[in-house]
Amino acid sequence: MTKTKAITDAENRFGFVRIEDEQFFPEWCEELPTITETEKENLDVLRRRYIYHRADGNLLEGMVMLLLVSPLIAASGFYDPPFRIKAEESVNLLVDDGEEILRGRIDVLVLQNRLWVMVLESKKTTLSVLTAVPQALAYLMANPNSNLPVYEMVTNGDDILFIKVVQENTPKYDLSRVFAPFTSAKELYIVLQILKKFGQLVTPTNL
């Protein structure tokens, strides 16, 4: 796939329109399922473990997957029926300054290709997950279920961002706010709630 370096490139190439309306993407902030105190305690351990290893320097993609993403996927129930994991090919994301390449892997998590996770690897800690949005949009356009909303979680470990795309008629998208687990354990609590919400939306009874 051709690299897409800017959000405007993705918008122009695929006809994307950003819908900055809470009614378009309420899934990340409204009617989120509750999580138990045990789940919160497990997330606290996950966060402490990630911060401990992150303190030694930047983490490679595999470590981010091992320490953060995979436990979140498990806690969300995506390793269990009716969900299936399908690994996709690695992607390269070229940032605007032309000097850094973000290497990441997209994993299709949920049946019907309706929830994807992109894990980024970067040598520059200052790079935002927003850098990956253009390429994430491009890959979401390849989703075969164009009549259904599709969701994506993008993370470099330090930051987590959610994207929603609806392809019907004019391709539309919007972004959640960026969640930063470093700042507060509550950030990770909300991330798990959002993932659980997505799980509820993409189960067979909601297709």
**Is 73 within 8 Å of 79 (Cβ atoms)?**
yes
The verdict on residue 2 lying in a domain is no
- What is the pTM for the complete model shown? 0.85
The verdict on residue 132 lying in a domain is yes
Provide the pLDDT confidence category of residue 85 given band limits of 50, 70 and 90: confident
162 forms bridges with which residues in the sheet? 153
Provide the pLDDT confidence category of residue 9 given band limits of 50, 70 and 90: confident
Residue 1 has pLDDT above 50, yes or no: no
SS3 category, 178: coil
Q: Encode pLDDT of 20-79 as tens digits.
A: 988 999 999 999 999 999 999 999 999 999 999 999 888 877 888 889 988 999 999 988
Q: What is the distance between the alpha carbons of residues 90 and 107, in angstroms, rounded to a whole number?
A: 9
Is residue 202 classed exposed, middle or buried when 0-12, 13-18 and 19+ CB atoms within 10 A define those classes? buried
Task: Name the residue among 37, 65, 36 with its Cα closest to residue 50.
Answer: 65
Beta carbons within 10 angstroms of residue 65's beta carbon: 20
**How much is the pLDDT for 134?**
83
- DSSP 8-class letter at 91: E
The verdict on residue 201 lying in a domain is yes
- Enumerate long-range contacts of 185-190, CB under 8 Å, 24 or more apart: 185/40, 185/43, 185/44, 185/47, 187/160, 188/43, 188/46, 188/47, 189/35, 189/40, 189/43, 190/32
Q: What is the distance between the alpha carbons of residues 135 and 189, in angstroms, rounded to a whole number?
A: 27
Number of domains the chain is built from = 1
Domain that holds residue 147: 7-206
Q: Encode pLDDT of 54-65 as tens digits.
A: 998 888 778 888
The verdict on residue 1 lying in a domain is no
Q: Which helix or strand (DSSP H or E) is residue 151 part of?
A: strand 150-155
Q: What is the distance between the alpha carbons of residues 125 and 175, in angstroms, rounded to a whole number?
A: 21
**How much is the pLDDT for 110?**
55
Q: Encode pLDDT of 97-127 as tens digits.
A: 455 555 555 555 555 567 877 776 554 445 6
